[in-house]
Structure 1
Amino acid sequence: MKSTLKAAMFFLFAVLILGACGKSDNDDVGKGPDAPLQEDNTVTIKDDTEGGTLDSGDGYGFDKFDLDIEVDGQDAVDVEYAVAKSHAASYENKLAGVKLKDTEAFDKIDEFFMDIMLTKDTSEQEAIDKIMQWFGLDTYTDFDLEVDFDEGTKLDIEDKK
């Protein structure tokens, strides 16, 4: 009886080992010239109705942002962000001596947009207040802001003092 039990256990052990070491049908996918090619999965990003996603380019809720602020009649701040045709950005704060383009500008603009959080429902005065606070400005002589929100509305502020 002992030898039968040992033989059965040895047989079961051998089956398990051989099964684990065996070759599956998928081992050759994508290998060699005659092997079938593995199909690529496609990832689709669906825009949210309230601002899209960062991956689709309109994650802030708008695809164009153009800000110009003058202080004492001199250019002080210029921020441009556009997604529509060319994903481009520039950020300039002459008062702080900052002039950025490309990746550095995107990084700073991302921080700026995430802090001010403009939406289609933001009032003109609230937008001015948030932006002025971000740049640490108390007054301006010319404030010009154009924002094209992704659902089709626009925020256009032109204020001279």
Structure 2
Amino acid sequence: MKKWFVSIIGTGLLLGLAACSDDPSVDNHPKEQVVPSDNQDREQTPDTIQVEDSGNKSHEGQVQNDQDAAEMMQDLNFTEFELEVNYGPNEEIDYEYKQKSNDGDYKAEMKDTVKNVIYKGMEAFTALHTQLKDLELNANMDKEAAIQEILDRFDLDADYSKFELEVTFKDGSKLDIEDRKTP
């Protein structure tokens, strides 16, 4: 009987404490919540920080002074990477990375309508870096071998209608491949 009584009292206390929250986001009466007016100084929260105030945040895929990326760039053997693969009229994969300096300035974008993925800036760079950091490409590579390396690396279907790859290596050499398949 005591155990039953103690469990009822314990449950009651927990429900009572949960109902007494001071957190306005839990309040069921939105009229009573305090909302700052537009002319009040607002605390810098992720919702109120503008792009120019955000330090290393990206804008339209452009990132400046990203020190983590500067270190990661050393893993890559190229400064520019552009890949465009089309599958039929409506499916496209478009990956772009361009290192602008050794200080962490770069542009990175990923658009993949096959997997419904769009990344820009840091998010795109991180995803691309993971795929590209130990990529075995060079300027003298055979066209078919380079295409197969990219298809394997990004887990892409070989049934493309258009394949374009442009890579500029750190030594200034370039790899430029274009392949079109007719249906």
**What's the TM-score bracket when you normalise by the shorter of the two chains?**
0.5 to 0.7
Equivalent residues of 1:58, 1:83 under 8 A apart: no
Q: Indicate the RMSD between aligned Cα atoms, in angstroms.
A: 2.3
Tell me, yes or no, if structure 1 residue 157 matches structure 2 residue 177: yes
Using a 3 Å threshold, how does the CA distance of structure 1 residues 115 and 150 change in structure 2: closer, same or farther?
Answer: closer
1:64 is aligned to: 80
Aligned to 1:124: 143
How many percent identity over aligned positions? 29
Partner of 1:32: none
**Cα-to-partner distance string for 1:66-101 (whole Å, 9 max, x where unaligned):** 111101133420000001365110112211111111
Which has the larger Rg? 1
Mark the CA change 1:97 to 1:122 in structure 2 (over 3 Å): closer, same or farther: same
* Count of aligned positions: 109
Secondary structure of 1:140 counterpart: coil
Q: 3-state SS of the aligned residue for 2:71? A: coil
- Runs of at least 5 residues in structure 2 that lack an aligned partner in the other structure: 1-69
- Please tell me whether residue 82 in structure 1 is matched to residue 98 in structure 2: yes
In structure 1, runs of 5+ residues without a counterpart are: 1-53
Q: Which amino acid in 2 is paired with 1:72?
A: G
Matched, 1:144 2:164: yes
The one-letter code matched in structure 2 to 1:140 is Y
Match of 2:145, as an amino acid? E
CA distance in 2, matches of 1:74, 1:97: 12
User: What amino acid sits opposite 2:121 in the alignment?
Assistant: D
Q: Any idea what the Cα deviations from partners look like across 1:96-154, whole Å, max 9, x if unmatched?
A: 11111111111110111035432334332122112222233131111011101111110
TM normalised by structure 1 equals 0.59
Deviation track 1:20-48 (CA, whole Å, cap 9, x = no partner) reads xxxxxxxxxxxxxxxxxxxxxxxxxxxxx
TM-score scaled by length of structure 2: 0.53
Q: Distance in 2 between matches of 1:98 and 1:139?
A: 20
